[in-house]
Amino acid sequence: MATANDSYSNQSSWGPLDTLQAFPSPLEKPVPYFITAFLLFVFYFSIQQAEQTPHTDLPILNPRHKWDFAWVKVKWDFIFNVRHIVEERTKTSPDEPYQVLTDAGDMTILPAVPFANEIRNHEDLSFDRVLDKASVPHEWQTVVIREEMLKIVARVSTRVFGGEKLCRNQAWLKITSEYARTSFLASELLRIFPKPLRSLVHQINPFSRRLQAQVKEARDIINPIVEERRKEKKAALDRDEEEPEYNDCLEWCEESSDDASSDPAMMQLGLSFAALHTTSDLITQVMLDLAKYPDYFEPLRKEITDVIRTDGWSRMGLYKMRLLDSFCKETQRLHPIGIVAMHREATKPITLSNGLELPEGSRIAVSCQRMRDSSVYLDPSRFDGHRYLRMRESLGAGNDGAAHFVSTSPEHLGFGHGQHACPGRFFAANEVKIVLCHLLLKYDWRLAAEAQPKSINFGFTIEVDPKAKLEIRRRTGDLGMKA
């Protein structure tokens, strides 16, 4: 009589199961399995790359090569060589659009004219998607200026964002100074890997872990401050007294937010992310330009002291510092934070004025090369701190808006352009001027011996030399101000 085992044996003596049993164990003969896995890997990435490769009639400045499966060479070229690639393209075809393959996908780059004005408020193009060391008077001290400026800007910004108590919290200042860079490094590491692997890489990414730790530290600092303020208000109400007032961004957001969903620590980190590094980068570059062109020191100091004597430390006073305004705008023209601006994404298919069709989801930006265009600026590569001051004087009061530091145009995209231009540029401009006023009145500085600062290019981003050194010393300040 046949048993169950006999039946199983008879069924497995033929057909697919018998074929499977004939395969050797992976431990016995691993080579066929490795080959199969490799072929599947190649097949998978071939499909992925076919889907990701842009279908466009525009020239691609850094095209992907056939066997660049993970886009390693494309991403390398974008991160380290894109500025050179774009500059070479601009020399030959300055008025033609092109595409660049970035570490986050393809992007269409448009010339500033006519497209900056065309897309600036386009409803279907969305922006939402996309000095303690100088301690001895009269003695020169060498400092890495970018680091010092980041500390100063962190404290000044936090005074407005979080109040007097928070701006003196060294642990908080350290977090806000490091958070943006940690975020950048975490995202750049993730972008190296294909999308299906990123959730896995995120779990072991050291920068992602550091980012999570920084968020926790931020909440441990901010939440008790918010809770303490709430208790103080409640106690005042219980005593029928006026609630204490706090004039800072932390309080403004507390008043306008829903208690159930608000996260004041993340809000503060978001503000720091947007404000600290760009502002400190600009102030550092202004200081380097002053060190290169020291003839501007005395005219700037005279302007500052004259204005403060008549208008004091007021917004109107800052507005009247026209040479300082012009100097900052010229620095920003020659040293913008990126080679493109006005990042947008098409929310539906659109056609631009030149007939260029942008499918839904297309990512675009506008080239900043017009800021060095000889048809726009006389001797565009030469630094001229009076350039925009002369422009204001020639245009006359009431018509000189384009020459102001905070103004935007296709000819100067330092703060972007249109309805999505940097909303914090007015705050940033005042902050930059206040810091520079104090530095100019209280310190002398010059380039350190043999210093030749060079900007750092990373993809579309341009950063001031993080290792640039200045020699700085205290001076007997004008208006009796001392360092």
- What the block records as the tokens of 224 is 């008790």
For residue 125, give every residue at least 6 positions away whose Cβ sits within 8 Å of its Cβ, in sequence order, or none: 119, 344, 345, 346, 347, 350, 364
Q: Six-digit token pair at 66?
A: 């056939």
Q: Encoding tokens for residue 358?
A: 């942008």
CA distance 214 to 175: 6
Tokens for 454, please give them: 């060079």
- Three-state SS at 205: coil
Distance CA 194, CA 184 (A): 18
d(CA 100, CA 86) in angstroms, rounded, equals 9
Length of the chain in terms of residues written: 483
- Backbone torsion region of residue 158, taken as left when φ is above 0, otherwise alpha when ψ lies between -120 and 50, otherwise beta: alpha
What are the CB-based long-range contacts (under 8 Å, 24+) for 131-134?
A: 131/439, 131/443, 131/472, 131/483, 133/472, 134/443, 134/472, 134/473, 134/474, 134/483
253 assigned to a ligand binding site:
no
Is there a contact between 386 and 394 (Cβ–Cβ < 8 Å)?
A: no
The Cα–Cα gap between 356 and 427 comes to 37
- What sign does the CA torsion over 181, 182, 183, 184 have? positive
Distance between CA 478 and CA 395 in Å, rounded? 32
Feature table: binding site:
422
Feature table: binding site for heme:
422
